[in-house]
Amino acid sequence: MLLVSEIVILTLIVGPILTIVALIDLLRRPASEWTAAGQDRLVWALVVILVAFVGPVLYLTLGRSKLKDARVTPAAPMVTS
């Protein structure tokens, strides 16, 4: 069972680190990925900032996977013979 001090450490150190990592990832992604995935960057930013600890975890697991699945890939050139 976690001690109170361990919970405080997790909350005060790991929580802000996850928030910073999630915000950096969120801001570095191009708008085309957000559009292709049908996701809203502002909504995810608010979730990451306002829902402590859980928000960044949700973005890093669910949000990023949706963005990766919807990545815009360039069309292959057509070959005519």
**How many helices and strands in the chain, by DSSP H and E?**
6, 0
Write down the domain spans for the chain. Answer: 4-69
**CB-CB neighbours of 64 under 10 Å:** 18
How would you write the pLDDT of the chain (81 residues) with one tens digit per residue?
A: 668 888 888 788 888 999 999 999 999 999 989 888 889 999 999 999 999 889 999 999 999 888 888 775 555 566 776
pTM of the model: 0.74
